[in-house]
Amino acid sequence: MPIRQFQAQRMHAPRDFQAIANQPVCVEIGAGKGKHALLFSGQNPEKQLIAVERTREKFLSMQKQHGLEGQQNLQPIHADALPWVVHALFPAQVEQFFILYPNPEPHNPAQRWLNMPFFEFLLSRLKTGGQITLASNIPDYIEEAHQQLIEVWKLPFVKEVIPADSARTHFEIKYLERGELCQQLIITKPEGCTTRFDDFQPLQGQTAAAAE
């Protein structure tokens, strides 16, 4: 399906927005209660991970567990991911994005990640050679994203079946215990990949007051 251009300049900053430094980071979108974020940051102490979650209850659960475990390289963020990414991230700043078991949007396919104009902006924040991991338990979701990568985005990727003993998120554990097929696409930003947002600098909260 055709993808229109994302209107980044129209995004208001999330409430209580705080800017971040322009240094290499990994970002998890829709981090839930933080199981993967806590595991990843514990296993990769050399990497800085920002875990973004929109739902307050889930964010507070992640924040509480982070307080108990205390990883210095993990920063939980309570915000809607789209405006946060626009206001916070710099071009080619992100080493890896994780989008694990997103809402499949059964009644609104245009809101699926690889169908959204925003995906081009997300790509602009990824460094060359950086990766996006998109996981789902819904075969049609993965197949559609697979086709979008070939036909629209023209990006290299690997499609993998997630092992039955994987336990990165609470959803993943539940789906695998049910015997469901869980798959992931690992998408790489190749050398020479350009977007219309490569020179777009973060708004860094300039319109935060307007959002309130």
Q: Which segments of the chain have a pLDDT < 50?
A: 207-212
Q: How far is CA 206 from CA 22, 47, 53, 110, 114, in A?
A: 17, 28, 22, 29, 28
Q: Report helix, strand or coil for 132.
A: strand
Note the pLDDT of residue 38. 97
CATH topology of domain 23-195: Rossmann fold (3.40.50)
Note the pLDDT of residue 151. 95
Nearest one of 86, 119, 96, 98 to 26, comparing CA atoms? 96
Note the pLDDT of residue 18. 85
Note the pLDDT of residue 14. 84
Q: Edge-to-edge strand order for the sheet containing 94-100?
A: 74-78, 49-53, 25-29, 94-100, 126-136, 183-188, 157-161
Note the pLDDT of residue 33. 97
Note the pLDDT of residue 2. 56
For the chain, the domains span 23-195
Q: What is the pLDDT of residues 10-48, one digit of tens each?
A: 888 888 888 899 999 999 999 999 999 999 999 999 999
* Total residue count of the chain as it appears in this document: 212
Alpha-carbon span 17 to 89, nearest angstrom: 12
